[in-house]
């Protein structure tokens, strides 16, 4: 079990009440932007317009809107993918790795599976271990079939399940600002993408807006 | 039309036609040796959703008014042909199919009416029928008839729903009226051309790569796929509407 997620406690409490009664006591972290996130509606072009529910590898359920307040790097994958997905994960790690360590903690990284049936929390934990994914701000999660379709649609990611339960999908990594508006995307999987890393730095460097 | 008169409360079961499950050869490759895919039984709206029906939905769920919709959810042309956010006006007919609606909006409408958007393969199965046959796709006369629509100028006013002949399933207006959203519009991964070799886009896709479309004869359906695959979830268009489906049995 990894440390708790730095997410807005209000939302989390509601989610936990359904998903994991008694789990609340182990969620001591509050978030410094919590009040801000809860106070106002997200911008019109924000991903946080979508009421998407997620379940992370440690089994906890939360809303994507709980991640509001820090820049978000987001992509979609599935864990038993053997062709492009390992490249996608490696590229994500490479992009994040180009940031100073302290800055790496100032973003959320979210990988959402296309395959809620096979990517159970246990399978996602296995995926995390296999790819040495650690840190409370790096979240590997699944969502309902309907929410997966909506999130992919919002991110411009195409995917299709084939009869053998592999997925044909586009590999796109997006970075949003603190309010969830996508500021840059990359589908570069092997080389570096300096423009994307620069966009990431810019988002981290941006002072949270005052309200 | 019948639908508009009783339409405000939404579609009753009688307005959705049952479609029995079938093994169906889609223009999309199945990804296996078997040429056919199994489409489970479901029900589909007999007609596309109309302006009057969508207006009733907007009045009941004001977050879907054009003046309240978020940019992520629909583009700036969402319902822009209506006279006002809560009124169709003189130049918009209640029984015309509603258009200029995004995928998110179409989806929300169907959910509010006990349904969902049809999947592409469900839509394709139903749209393969003529009046007498479940699968008329290899009939050249039928092909010519549906292709005719694509040649007409897009600026013509849209006809009312329900004027097209009911097909084998009792479902109307699949061809010749509007493009229609499907739930998995973003599953229709089509490359500019379907060559396997030297495709620069290939690495962008995990798995079997972009679709290599199988049935080039069925040009009208291929155009649907090309159109849908070009859209974003927030896109709207003058001749892009939708209908709902419900149920999904093995």
**pLDDT tens profile A159-208:** 998 888 889 899 999 999 999 999 999 998 888 899 999 999 999 986 55
Give the other-Cβ count within 10 Å of A169's Cβ: 27
pLDDT attached to residue B1: 39
Q: CB–CB of A149 and B70 under 8 A?
A: no
Per-residue pLDDT, averaged over B62-81, amounts to 98
Q: How many CB atoms lie within 10 A of CB B179?
A: 16
Assess contact for A69 and A32: CB atoms under 8 A: yes
pLDDT range class, residue B223, cuts 50, 70, 90: confident
Q: What is the pTM of this model?
A: 0.84
Contact: A150, B184; criterion CB under 8 Å: no
Which of B184, B205, B232 comes nearest A156 by C-beta? B232
The residue extents of the domains of chain A are 9-205
Question: What DSSP character marks residue B47?
Answer: S
Fold of A9-205: Glutaredoxin (3.40.30)
Contacts within 8 Å (CB) and 24+ apart, B146-150:
B146/B175, B146/B176, B146/B220, B147/B219, B147/B220, B148/B176, B149/B175, B149/B176, B149/B177, B149/B220, B150/B220, B150/B223
Contact residues, chain A, for B207 at CB < 8 Å: 81, 83-84, 162, 166-169
Confidence of residue B219 (pLDDT cuts 50, 70, 90): confident
| Averaged pLDDT score across all residues of chain B | 85
Q: Tell me the average pLDDT across A101-119.
A: 94
Taking the Cβ of residue B75 and every Cβ of chain A, the question of whether any pair is shorter than 8 Å is answered with no
- Distance from the first to the final alpha carbon of chain B: 34
> Is B240 in a helix, a strand, or coil?
strand
Q: What are the φ/ψ torsions at residue A78 (nearest 5 degrees)?
A: -145, 150
Task: Choose, out of B186, B194, B225, B231, the residue to mutate when testing the contact with A (most A CBs < 10 Å).
Answer: B186
- What is the rounded distance in angstroms from the CA atom of residue B155 to the CA atom of residue B177? 12
Establish if B110 touches chain A: CB-CB under 8 angstroms: no
pLDDT in tens, B142-187: 888 888 877 777 677 899 999 999 999 999 999 999 999 999 999 9
Q: Which residues contact residue B112 at a Cβ distance below 8 angstroms, ignoring those fewer than 6 apart?
A: B10, B57, B60, B61
Angle at B185 between CA B208 and CA A180, to 5 degrees: 100
Is the pLDDT confidence value at A42 over 90? yes
Answer yes or no: are the C-beta atoms of B96 and B219 closer than 8 Å. no
Question: Would you call B186 and A159 a contact, using CB atoms and an 8 Å cutoff?
Answer: yes
Domains annotated for chain B, with CATH where assigned, are 2-246 (3.90.1580)
């Amino acid at each position: 079990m990894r440390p708790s997620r730095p997410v807005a406690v209000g939302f989390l409490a509601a989610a936990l009440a359904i998903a994991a009664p008694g789990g609340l006591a182990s969620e001591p972290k509050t978030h410094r932007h919590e009040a801000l996130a809860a106070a106002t509606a997200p911008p019109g072009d924000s991903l946080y317009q979508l009421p998407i529910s997620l379940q992370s590898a440690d089994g906890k359920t939360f809303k994507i809107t709980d991640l509001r307040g820090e820049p978000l790097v987001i992509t979609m994958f599935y864990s038993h993918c053997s062709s492009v997905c390992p490249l996608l994960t490696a590229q994500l790690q490479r992009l994040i790795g180009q940031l100073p360590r302290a800055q790496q903690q100032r973003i959320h990284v979210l990988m959402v599976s296309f395959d809620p049936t096979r990517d159970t929390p246990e399978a996602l934990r296995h995926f995390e271990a296999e790819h040495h994914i650690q840190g409370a701000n790096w979240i590997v999660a699944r969502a309902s079939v309907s929410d997966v379709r909506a999130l992919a649609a919002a991110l411009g990611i195409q995917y299709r399940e084939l009869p053998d339960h592999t997925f044909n999908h586009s590999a796109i990594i997006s970075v949003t600002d603190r309010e969830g508006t996508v500021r840059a995307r990359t589908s570069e999987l092997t080389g570096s993408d300096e423009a994307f890393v620069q966009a990431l730095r810019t988002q981290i460097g941006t002072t949270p807006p005052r309200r | 039309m019948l639908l508009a008169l009783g339409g405000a409360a939404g579609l009753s079961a009688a307005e959705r036609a049952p479609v029995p499950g079938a093994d169906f050869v889609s223009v999309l490759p199945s990804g296996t040796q078997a040429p056919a895919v199994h489409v489970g039984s479901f029900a589909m709206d007999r007609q596309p959703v109309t302006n009057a029906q969508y207006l009733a939905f907007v009045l009941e769920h004001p977050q879907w008014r054009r003046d309240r919709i978020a940019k992520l959810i629909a583009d700036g042309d969402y319902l822009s042909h209506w006279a006002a956010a809560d009124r169709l006006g003189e130049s918009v007919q209640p029984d015309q199919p509603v258009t200029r609606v995004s995928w998110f909006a179409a989806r929300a409408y169907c959910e509010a009416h006990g349904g969902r958007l049809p999947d592409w393969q469900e839509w394709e199965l139903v749209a393969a029928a003529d009046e007498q046959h479940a699968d008329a796709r290899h009939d050249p006369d039928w092909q010519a008839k549906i292709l005719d629509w694509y040649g007409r100028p897009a600026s013509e006013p849209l006809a009312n729903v329900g004027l097209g002949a009911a097909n084998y399933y009792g479902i109307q207006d699949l061809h010749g009226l509007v493009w229609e959203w499907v739930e998995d519009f973003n599953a229709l991964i089509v490359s500019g051309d379907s060559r396997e070799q030297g495709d620069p886009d290939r690495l962008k896709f995990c798995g079997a790569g972009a679709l290599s479309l199988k049935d080039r004869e069925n040009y009208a359906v291929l155009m649907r796929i090309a159109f849908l695959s070009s859209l974003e979830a927030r896109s709207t268009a003058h001749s892009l509407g939708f209908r709902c489906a419900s149920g999904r049995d093995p």
